[in-house]
Each structure stands twice: as structure tokens, then as C-alpha cells.
Amino acid sequence: MNYIIDHIPRTTPHNRRPGVPMTPQYITIHSTGNPKSTARNERAWLTNPSNTVTASYHIVVDEKEAIEVLPLNEVAWHAGDGNGQGNRASIGIEICESGNRAKTLENAVWLVAKMLNERGWGVDRLKRHYDWSKKICPRIFYDNGRWTGWEQFKDAVQREISGGGNVTQDKNTPSAWAKEAWDWANKEGLLDGTRPKDNLTREEFAVVLKRLADKK
């Protein structure tokens, strides 16, 4: 599955990207509530001028791909709990209701397992939108007045983690192939020595380039 990074601009109206820093502690699962929209449709809606709602999330996944629409270290408005932990400390993932449901769920399971692995987290970090604010969401796991499928989803993520063989990866230790370069970059003051497994944003890259240029 493709993982596309296509962040909405800081200037997006209705405060959908407040730019507030966040240290995530949970992953919150949603479903879009729209049986027709794809991940690309959902991404486009965030910057559609006729959208007047203050609502956002971090990643949307469908049968084909996942799109990251906000940096995972910035607050999005998705949990309905105001300034509670749902909005302020969780990564919001929207599962599309369109297309092939089995394939979509397979992609979601893979993505969530990978994200938990990368952070050294277990499935206890997974929450439903419902857990923060009692909204019936993700509704794809709700039927006839009761939750169906949520425990199965978490079980599938757990199986993916267990089968992945990656669960014991220490996220605070650089990989063997990168250690020499990692130590050098820290000794030279180009990096700050933290988060060796995290992605580098374009702005962080710019800071590193400037540190390098300033050394000359």
C-alpha cells in the first residue's frame, strides 16, 4: 500500500491545522461516515472552500492507499473531546467506508500495526472515537445497537504485530547500518540525538542544512 504525505497548508480555513505541537500517546480510529468517498476525496474535502467545519484528522486510508494530511506531531480536531487527550494526544486515523471493505481493513490493520511497532506501543494504545466522546464512530464496527468488529480489528492488529517480528525494535537506538553516521551527525551538532527512527520533515531538514552551512 502506498503511503502518501499531502499535508493541508497552515493557512487552511476553520482552524483545521492549528499548528499546535503534539506528543502523541494514542491512535484513534474513525470511519468516514461516507460510503462513497475515497482517501483522495477526503483529503480534497479538507481544503474545499465549501467545507466550513472545524474538523480534521491525521491519516485517511482506503482500499488503495493511505494519505497523511497533517504532521503526526501536530494537533488535529477529530475526537470530540475539546482539549482532552483525544484531540491533544492522539493520532486520528479515518478508515474509508468506500470500495472493498476487506482490502481497506487489511490496509488499516497493516498501517496501524506499523505505527504501533515504530513507537514501541501495544494495542492498548488504540482507541475509538467513541472512547473519547461517545460518538458512534467508527460506525463500520457498530451494528444493530452494539459494537461488532472492534475487538476483531484490534486482534488483527495484534496478529500483524506478532507476525511482523518487529515488535521488539528499540525506537531509541539507531540501526546498526546507521550508527556511525548517527553518532557523527550528533557529535557535529547537526542533529539533537533524539528520535533516531522518526521521519524528518522538510522544515527539520532545512534546520539541519542551515546548521551544516553555518559551520563553514
Contact 138, 29 (CB under 8 A): yes
Whole-angstrom distance, CA of residue 135 vs CA of residue 159: 27
Provide, rounded to whole angstroms, the least separation between the CB of residue 181 and Zn ion: 41
Q: Which is nearer to Zn ion, 135 or 171 (CB)?
A: 135
Question: In this chain, which of 22, 39, 137, 156 binds Zn ion, going by CB under 5 A?
Answer: 137
Provide, rounded to whole angstroms, the least separation between the CB of residue 153 and Zn ion: 14
Provide, rounded to whole angstroms, the least separation between the CB of residue 96 and Zn ion: 13
Q: Which is nearer to Zn ion, 31 or 117 (CB)?
A: 31
Residue list 116-135, contact with Zn ion (CB under 5 A):
129
Provide, rounded to whole angstroms, the least separation between the CB of residue 80 and Zn ion: 7
Choose among 153, 164, 160: nearest CA to 30.
153
Whole-angstrom distance, CA of residue 64 vs CA of residue 42: 13
Whole-angstrom distance, CA of residue 63 vs CA of residue 97: 9
Q: Is 95 among the residues that bind Zn ion (CB under 5 A)?
A: no
Whole-angstrom distance, CA of residue 37 vs CA of residue 63: 11
Q: Is 30 among the residues that bind Zn ion (CB under 5 A)?
A: yes
Q: Which is nearer to Zn ion, 153 or 191 (CB)?
A: 153
Q: Which is nearer to Zn ion, 125 or 129 (CB)?
A: 129
Q: Which is nearer to Zn ion, 127 or 129 (CB)?
A: 129
Q: Is 60 among the residues that bind Zn ion (CB under 5 A)?
A: no
Residues near 180 by beta carbon (within 8 Å), at least 6 away in sequence: none
DSSP string computed for 154-201: HHHHHHHHHHHT-TT--TTS--GGGHHHHHHHHHTTSS-S--TTSPPP
Q: Which is nearer to Zn ion, 83 or 194 (CB)?
A: 83
**Chain centroid to CA 139:** 19
Q: Would strands 142-143 and 146-147 be described as parallel, antiparallel, or unpaired?
A: antiparallel
Provide, rounded to whole angstroms, the least separation between the CB of residue 131 and Zn ion: 11
| Residues contacting Zn ion: total by CB under 5 A | 3
Provide, rounded to whole angstroms, the least separation between the CB of residue 130 and Zn ion: 8
Q: What does the binding site for Zn ion look like in residue numbers (CB under 5 A)?
A: 30, 129, 137
